[in-house]
Structure 1
Amino acid sequence: MALLVHEAAHGRHTCWDFGTGSSAAAEAATILEESRIETAQIGRRPGDRRWLRAASTTILLRDIPPTDDRWAAAGTAALILGRADAGILDSDEVQPVRDAVTNILGATTLDQLTEIWQLAHRTGDCDTDGMLELGRRWCAVLGIDPDNTTLPPRQPPGGADTGTAGTPAGSTTGRPAGGGVLRRAAGQVAGTVAVHDQEHARAQADAAQRAQQKAAARAAEARAQNQAGAAAAAVFGNTAVRGNGRAVRRARPNPRTRAATDAARAAARELARALRAAAYREPTDTVVDAPAPPGRLRARAAMSADAQRAAGQEPTAQPWRRTERRRHPHPPVHVGICVDVSPSVSSFADPIASAAWITAQATAWAGGTSATITFGAYVTAITRPGQPPAQVRLFDRENNTAGFPLAVDALDGALDLANPRAGARLLVVVSDGEFTDQDTTGGQQRLDRLLRTGCALLWPAPPGSTPLAGGQQVTLTDPSHSARLIARAATAALANHP
């Protein structure tokens, strides 16, 4: 494919005819044509550069003569350094050939030849006279008779075999002059180009893989958000949903409630104060210099501005200085409580119900939002976002443990727990972790997703429990401590939020 693109460039852009015979001028024009057509090709089709680079590794090893005379050095410079000026090769890649050619020709001669091939790059496809004239100038720089026909001829541009002549001007012996320095330098260039292209190909493959992974992650996140929104709509939409997510009980169960104790009310007020204190952000002061009021006038800067104006200059001094205070909004807190109501955690039912009431009241007073869900035979909304209950809602004991992933989805969808821009977020899970394999896998995936987005996780559990991985896991020997734990975790999540 690479050589095919090179030959296609000849087919499209080599329209001139250097005539019959093989004079030195025509031979030089043929050498110049190699980088000229590649310049035109990438100007028309920039994406072909990758193929022309690949082709150069073959062309360089095939076209560079084994001799080290001035004619061979000039031809090597045109083929390799000319491709660097064409944008096919990079300047650092061709440095070995540049050094070798400079040692043979000298820097002045190389500069003159560089000017000629750069002119060739700007020559039209069908400008035969222009190319032959450049060939004559090439010979003149090298001190060669442009009409000399003793040089071994190259094939016409675009031909199947384009070997560069390798005999010194005026000689017909064809004997090598030198130790193959040019070929070794060209081999170094070809090796470097191949290595760079391999590195570039690996980088492109890695970038494509990362882009694919990001696209897959975005698609997965979109599916998770849709799933969470649907779960929130179902759980908080005046229905109770079975833990397996398939059956929906349309009739809402009659809730059992009790009045909040004075201790619970005092705890709610204390938590609200703590949340407001954790949410407070100090304003930042910035000192600003300005050319005009308001602010404090600085005499030295004012005199500098007057002197600049007197000298007919545009004043750059800033005589006025003021302090600008910027207030930062307080981040809200979102607390979701997910409670297992199976018999194994029944001793936690009343303390957690009280903790849910305290959390709902306190976060509402502090400008935040909370919600509580139980899961067992059903996934049931206990306290709803933005609706702190007047009384403590008691939990129903259910002889099953299912629906944990659905409960997490519902809290996520209702409280935006997976949104890093939503403020400080906390998920509290009260359970012994004895789930089905399906719920364990699905629940862990959801917890991992929330943790990746910065949502804090608190898992208080009875002794002997097996909580899922992640977050802060606490073994509760006294269920009455649960409210204090939730309060501390919510305050810490808000205080740690940037």
Structure 2
Amino acid sequence: MSAHHHVQSPATTPEDDADLARWDDDGAPPAQPRSSPGAWLRVGAELGDRLVALSGRQDLLVTCRPGTRSGAPAAFFPTLGEVEFDAGLFAPLQPHEIHPRIVGDEERYPAAWGVFVHEAAHAAHSVWTAPAGANPRLVEAALLLEESRVEGAHLTRRPTDRTYLRTSARTLVMPDVAHPTLQGVEHAAAVAALILGRRDVGILDAGETQAVSDLCEKVLGADLLATLTRIWTAAHQCADHDATTMLAHAQDWCDALDIAAPALPVPEGLPDLLSGAVGVVMDSAAATDAADLAAQAAATSAMATRSRAQANDRAQQASRRRQAAATAKSVFNSGGATVNPDGTPAPHSNPVTGSRRPTSAEQSSASRLSRALRAAAYRERTEERTTSPTPPGRLNMRAALARDAQRAAGSVPTAEPFTHTRRRNSPTPPLRVGIAVDVSGSMRAACAPVASAAWIVARAAALTDPDSRTATIAYDRHLTALTRPTHRAPERVTQFHANGGSHNLANALDALDHGLELSRPGAGRLLVIVTDAQYTPDETAEAVTRVKQLTNAGCAVLQLTLTAKSRHLPGTTLLHLPQPSSAPAAIATAATTAIRRTR
């Protein structure tokens, strides 16, 4: 169709670089090149490095300079092992701005890279050569069919290059359509091969090529277009080395045109009609690519936003963990002092009034709870039974007879007569119980029963399992540890009063979570919050956030209330106790349930 073939024979004689030429002295200043040819040597060398991956060949040279010897934007010389590339395709970029060796740099010049990928496809798949003396018209037709064939073959190896091959179509096809060497029906057939052939190998979409398809069907007729379609479809299946088959398809192409062309009228202004139809195709493809690029950019932006949000969330979680560790360290100090949320001492706000020896009833309750916890933590031994054709194991006579019968029948014995039972002891889960008691002025009735319950639970846990731990924190705006997460049972009952103001449940929960590892599975975990939840909205929101984190981690959260005016903290299991004295029994029951449900 055009004199600008992308596969060139060695007949072209190399010329000196045009940019080195100078005008004769006619009184005018010498012409200045826009860029030095030497500056493009590096670009050509880096294109050659990338050509190895694109074509799978290591014996090729890439020359990049302003203008080409062949006159085409780029061309492949099979016998010379050279790909020449017009530096003008990179416009308006200058050589120092182009770095093809860097993967991803091609995104800044997609059209130029698409032409380069097209030539790489020729280098990889245009291996056949026409025999000496071949009809030039057949060779011309074969090279026309070769354009879409090599792109389809390249696409099977590198499907991600489809975007660049689409962008190259405008650069490669439009000049050939605007300045054709073929006329009339042959011109229309060549346009069909270049555009519809790319459609059939998956470079262009069917909807995008509808304008060319309709015009070619009108000019060529449905029968001839169907015949030509079968020819280029068959050429797409041709092997890279099979020159005979390619020339046979070219012969079929020429014969089909010779038979049908005389009877087909040529519309007036056909070149302009074909150029317009191809322009519509290219504009449609460009719009599709722009939409895809916008969608990809939107998806990338959304992913980046999501990644930043996740990173911020991880950073916030890490910050909260560090803050919780600092809070737990300051609260569970050895001196038993009351601390502010930032960990500084607040000695004048200590609610602890003293301690006393446990009563006989409290000691009995601790013993009963210890026995109940041991019973709840007990796990039956697991049994695993396996069979085998050979000892050790217990002989199963039915399976042994079945094996003898299989052997006597001449079949491969599959019965396994020996049974082995393996018993394993299941580990007893330890207990983790954290108690947070509100010591604001409205919670005076809970002081005595909660103090008793804290001692009973701590004593029972220590008697049950040496790995079990409990802790109790009294909170208003300050935090005070009533019992600490140690393996030793407290000797005395810590007494306290409730006359504080405000509430700092969130920091109390952070300290209990870190000190007892309430968020880590593998133990019976229970958090008890004794409060009427008469909080401000901000205090409630912070507390609910911590409660949700614990429940999501599998920790049971129980809220004990003593008055009818109490509010329910979302996420907790609410238990109303009209009699404050029943708090120890309620906490013991909840602890037993928590350890029983542990897996």
Q: Give the alignment's TM-score, normalised by structure 1.
A: 0.70
Q: How does 1:191-230 map to 2 (within 5 A)?
A: 214-230=310-326
Alpha-carbon distance in structure 1 between the residues aligned to 2:318 and 2:489:
30
Rate the CA distance shift 1:83–1:359 in 2: closer, same or farther, 3 A. same
Whether 2:353 is the aligned partner of 1:245: answer no
Alpha-carbon distance in structure 1 between the residues aligned to 2:231 and 2:405:
56
1:34 to 151, 169, 179: 151
Match of residue 370 from structure 1:
470
User: Does the CA-based 8 Å contact 1:284-1:325 persist in structure 2?
Assistant: yes
Q: How does 1:232-381 map to 2 (within 5 A)?
A: 232-239=328-335, 240-245=337-342, 247-249=344-346, 256-295=354-393, 296-297=395-396, 298-303=399-404, 306=407, 317-367=415-465, 368-376=468-476, 378-381=478-481
Q: Give the alignment's TM-score, normalised by structure 2.
A: 0.60
Instruction: Give the unaligned 5+ runs of structure 2.
Output: 1-106, 131-135, 178-184, 206-212, 214-221, 271-277
- Matched to 2:416, the amino acid is Q
User: Does the CA-based 8 Å contact 1:241-1:380 persist in structure 2?
Assistant: yes
2:524 to 424, 434, 437: 424
- Matched to 1:372, the amino acid is T
Alpha-carbon distance in structure 2 between the residues aligned to 1:132 and 1:265:
100
Rate the CA distance shift 1:106–1:231 in 2: closer, same or farther, 3 A. same
Match of residue 569 from structure 2:
468
Residue 168 of structure 1, CA deviation: 6.0
Rate the CA distance shift 1:392–1:283 in 2: closer, same or farther, 3 A. same
Name the larger-Rg structure: 2
Q: How does 1:125-140 map to 2 (within 5 A)?
A: 130=241, 135-139=246-250
Residue 200 of structure 1, CA deviation: 8.4
User: Does the CA-based 8 Å contact 2:325-2:511 persist in structure 1?
Assistant: yes
- Matched to 1:144, the amino acid is W
Match of residue 455 from structure 1:
555
Residue 456 of structure 1, CA deviation: 1.1
Match of residue 157 from structure 1:
none
Give the SS at the match of 1:457.
strand
User: Does the CA-based 8 Å contact 1:416-1:422 persist in structure 2?
Assistant: no
Instruction: Give the unaligned 5+ runs of structure 1.
Output: 90-96, 121-129, 152-166, 177-182
Give the SS at the match of 1:481.
helix
Alpha-carbon distance in structure 2 between the residues aligned to 1:299 and 1:434:
73
Match of residue 494 from structure 2:
393
Asked which structure has the greater RCO (Cα within 8 Å, sep 6+), the reply is 1
Q: Deviations over 1:240-264 (max 9, x none)?
A: 2434325225899786111212222
Give the SS at the match of 1:322.
strand
Whether 2:593 is the aligned partner of 1:492: answer yes
User: Does the CA-based 8 Å contact 2:472-2:484 persist in structure 1?
Assistant: yes
Q: How does 1:97-176 map to 2 (within 5 A)?
A: 112-116=234-238, 119-120=239-240, 130=241, 135-139=246-250, 143-145=252-254, 173=265
Cα RMSD (Å): 4.9
Identity of aligned residues (%): 29
Alpha-carbon distance in structure 2 between the residues aligned to 1:304 and 1:192:
71
Rate the CA distance shift 1:14–1:56 in 2: closer, same or farther, 3 A. closer
User: Does the CA-based 8 Å contact 1:29-1:134 persist in structure 2?
Assistant: no
User: Does the CA-based 8 Å contact 1:236-1:381 persist in structure 2?
Assistant: yes
Residue 202 of structure 1, CA deviation: 8.0
